[in-house]
Amino acid sequence: MPRSFVHEARRPVGRRRDRIRPIIERLAAEHADAKIALEFRSPVELLISVMLSAQTTDVNVNRVTATLFQKYRRPEDYLSVPREELEQDVYATGFFRQKAKSIQGAMRVLLDEFGGEVPKMVDELLRLPGVARKTANVVAAELGNPQGVVVDTHVRRLSQRLGLSRREDPVKIERDLVKLVPRADWGRFPHLLIWHGRRVCDARRPRCEECVLADLCPSSRVEVDEIVAYP
Ligand code: SF4
């Protein structure tokens, strides 16, 4: 189980239901550029990128896909090469054998069952080999049809620090978040937390003194009388 941040949320700051809207509004103002870090030009490229991003960084995936997407443009292209060739082409993302197998399996099902188009429903995406719930959620959200709130390591940490969930398991954290976050914000909310997590709320050294959420956060390390209350 990864490190827990639940115990840090100790300061009384009011009900999470009352805090969620200002949290979203302030983060949206602070990180207006927050979006998925993977680079893609089509739904198929999005799907491949998200599949490749397991256990590696988005920067690494973008480095690999910059050449990969020149060579493979349609689902058929991934099936026209031997598995070993695709393995070499995705080698630098790690777990290359499993990823190449999953990509070819997913492209096969895309062609056989979905006319070569990436479906927008999570249930349909889950029928693609190698596509688990998190991948399906990310793809559906990026295609404009979020059906849940994606919980990665940053979303988990910030949800716990902000007192939005006291759960440890990402599936249970997501359950708390979908009840709390307005549906219209399901897509952008994870990006806002991820960018805030990268820029301000670092796992080891959160910069609470610079944080726009300091007065709304039960984990803030800033003394209460030093906190600037944002409108
Ligand atoms: S950086 Fe902000 S969100 Fe993170 S613990 Fe500090 S006050 Fe809370």
pTM for the whole thing? Answer: 0.85
84-118: burial string, b at 16+ Cβ within 10 Å, e else: eebbebbeebeebeebbbbbbbbbebbbeeeeeeb
* Backbone phi and psi for residue 163, each to the nearest 5 degrees, phi listed first: 70, 25
* Residue 35 annotated as catalytic: no
* Residue 152 annotated as catalytic: yes
Instruction: Determine the residue of 208, 212, 227 to mutate for testing ligand 1's pocket, defined as the one with the most ligand atoms within 8 A of the Cβ atom.
Output: 208
Type of residue found at 214 = A
pLDDT tens string for the chain (231 positions)?
A: 789 999 999 999 999 999 999 999 999 999 999 999 999 999 999 999 999 999 999 999 999 999 999 999 999 999 999 999 999 999 999 999 999 999 999 999 999 999 999 999 999 999 999 999 889 999 999 999 999 999 999 999 999 999 999 999 999 999 999 999 999 999 999 999 999 999 999 999 999 999 999 999 999 998 766 555 555
Q: Which of 58, 77, 152, 176 is catalytic?
A: 152
Q: Is 206 in the pocket of ligand 1 (CB under 6 A)?
A: yes
Q: Is 211 in the pocket of ligand 1 (CB under 6 A)?
A: yes
